[in-house]
Every structure is written in structure tokens, then in C-alpha cells.
Amino acid sequence: MKEFYISDCARQENQTITSLFVVAVKQVKSKKNGELYLSVVLADRSGQLQGNMWDNVQDALTAFEQDDFVKVKGVIHKYNGRWQLTIHKMRRLEDSEIDHSDYLPKTPKDIEQLWRTLCDYIASFENPWLKALLNEFTSDEAIVTAYKNAPAAKTLHHAFVGGLLDHVVSLFTVCDLAARNYPQVNRDLLLSGAFLHDIGKLHELTYQRSIAYTTEGQLLGHMIIELEMLHEKIARVPGFPPELKILLEHMIISHHGHYEFGSPKLPMFPEALMLHYMDDLDSKMESMRAQFEREAEFDSPWASYNPSLARPLLNTRKFLDKGLAASRTAETPKPAAATASPSPEVTTDESISAEGPNGNAPHAAAPDAAAQAAVTVPSEKPALSPLEALEQKFAAHKVTSKPS
């Protein structure tokens, strides 16, 4: 049973840990003096960790291979803002010594509910050709099983079991909303592209022990695989319009949006362009969410540098919570010193029973202004909400320019 997960690095900084991992990457490299050292990427369900073994590496070089489970002892520390493990000892483990659920992260969402949601979207299609095509995919048991389990990427986003389905259902949701705002967009075509755009990941990635590329994935990539899968299923829908076929093909090969990101073509019609931007948005939002989750215990609202986004990230929830807490402390009013209020005059029975000019009891005489001010107790101001307190704090520091 694992007691240390990679997500625990912050609590174990500069401490020696002993734990179990799966080897996601194994490389033998050279130091500046020509000596060899071992560089590995260790993984468990909470993330990945760079590990380096600098000394006594000869025995370790052949003791294990990539995708093996290993027991490791070493020191956790930071290098260039990222966690690393300096390895002192490591040995290969047998499958009987580990629990597989410790090593592959999995979506916390209900897989079957996600699949039902995806099928409900397809059932709502008005285009009979696109509905029939996607039903060919969703009625293929091998594809269904793989689609429910495949990750959406190796590391960048939705890199966990069920990640592809999680990503596509999220993409269906935002594409459906966006299509309502742009009447020129064909909703069924857009959602079909969303379903197909990463379906090649079923064969591009393997995820038995860690997420890695298959030989097919390395040599072809998911776009080529997707075109082959698309053509196979279109052949099962007699009379499928060639115009729809070429639009779907273009959406597949252009969804990365830029030549330098692997798209042989740029998006050239509204549905293709929207698919690219919605896919890019969902991927980036998940990358941010996952990093904030990994660094939830950090006090600073600034997360560490995100390599895929090429920038550090600000956790707005932490940032605002800290600001609101500071505002509540700064704006809390100090209690005023208590002052004695003058006692009201005591009326006599005689004055109460006296009659007015019309034989009625007289109204009480209105007090003069000075007396009224003396006995009036100022009402307390209503308590400010945290957001109002923060807005008040910002307003107090607002700089306004003088009119010229």
C-alpha cells in the first residue's frame, strides 16, 4: 500500500521518502564528465515526478525497464520551480506487490452517466446522415469500451482514465451553447466533429500501467487513425453524402488550428473554426484546473509555471479569498466609547390628567431640536458583504485623472 503520492511533495520537501511508482520514462544520460546517470519519470495516480539517480547507477541500469513498477528511496526537492526526486535506491516490483488503482488517475465523474449524456446529444441530431454515422460508432462494443476508458492525452489535458469521454462531453456542452449564439453554425456537424476529433486516441495511446504512445500512435498519430476509422464507418452508411464526408475529414485534420501544432490544414469554415477554439478552450481550462488541484495546499495564489501554457498561473479563487479576508479585517469598525444619554423628564400625574382646550388630553409636546439630537441613537450601518468590502477597498485606492 502506497503511503506517499506525488501530490504529497509539498509536505515532504527536503525529506527522504520511500514509495512505489510506475516508470513512465527511462533514459540513460551522460554527466559533463562523461559518467552515466539515470533519468526517469515516475508516475502514480496523482501525477508525474522527475527522478535522477546520480551515483551507483550500474546495477540500476538493467534492473528495470519502462512501464515496470519500482520501489524507490530518495530525497524530494525543488529544481527550477519543479519537484524532483534524487534517487538513492530503487528495485523492480512484481505485480503481486502493488495495487493497480494507485497508479492510473481516473475521472471522478460517473462514466456511465457521461456516456448517457453523450448518447442523448447524438439522439437530438436532426441530420439523419450524421446521426446514423455516429450511431455506427456508439453501437460498436469495442469502441464503446475503449471510449469510456481512454485518456484524452498523455500529459497535457484530461490525462486520466475516462479523460477522452470527460473531454468530449464537456466539448459537446460548450459547442451546443455556442451554436445557439451563431445561427450560421450547423450544430449537428459541429458536434459530430467534436465526437470524432480525438477518437484516434483509442489507438494512439496505451494506458495499462502508465499513459504512453503505442507504435501506431508514434508512427501515424491520431488524425490519420481517425480518418481510417471514419472511412470504415461511412462505408456502413449507404449513400452517405460526399459533401458531409469531406467536411468531417477537414474538421479532423484542422482541429489543432495551426500548422506548428500539427494541423496540415487550417480551419476553413465556421464549424471547423469553432471546433478548434472550443477544443483549445476546454483543454486549457482542464490544464489549469488540474494544476490548481495538484497545488491546492500551496498558500500562494500563484501556481507554479505551466509548461503546456508557457506561463505561471494565478488561482483567482485563492487570490480573491485572501483579498476578502484582508478587507474584512481592515474594515471592521472599532467600537465607539459609550456616552451617557440624558434621562427624559418624568411627567406628573397632574400633567397627565390635565385637559386641553377642547376637553381632550393634550398631545405630548414635541421636544426641541437639541433635546431630540441628545436622545437619538444612531442606527448601525448594515454589515458589508465580502464582495462589497473588497469593492470598497479598491475604490479607496482608485486613481482619477484631473480634467485637462
pLDDT, residue 165, reads 93
**Helix/strand/coil for 151:** coil
Name the DSSP letter for residue 95: G
Top pLDDT among 355 and 295 is at: 295
Q: Which of 6-15, 271-280, 308-317, 334-343 has the lowest mean pLDDT?
A: 334-343
Q: 1.10.3470, 1.10.1330, 1.10.287, 1.10.3210: which CATH number matches 111-294?
A: 1.10.3210
For 302, the 3-state DSSP assignment is: strand
pLDDT single digits (tens) 120-169: 999 999 999 999 999 999 999 999 999 998 887 766 666 777 889 999 99
CA–CA separation, 18 and 96 (whole Å): 18
b/e map 178-188, b = 16+ CB within 10 Å: bbeeeeebbbb
Q: What is the residue extent of each domain of the chain?
A: 6-102, 111-294
pLDDT(271) > 80: yes
**Class of the 6-102 domain?**
mainly beta
**For 206-222, what is each residue's pLDDT tens digit?**
776 667 788 888 899 88
Instruction: Quote the pTM value.
Output: 0.65
pLDDT mean over 229-237:
97
Whether residue 290 has pLDDT greater than 50: yes
290 grid coordinates: 488540474
The set of cell numbers assigned to 168 is 468530449
Three-state SS at 186: coil
- Cβ-Cβ contacts under 8 Å for 166 (sequence gap 6 or more): 107, 109, 114, 152, 158
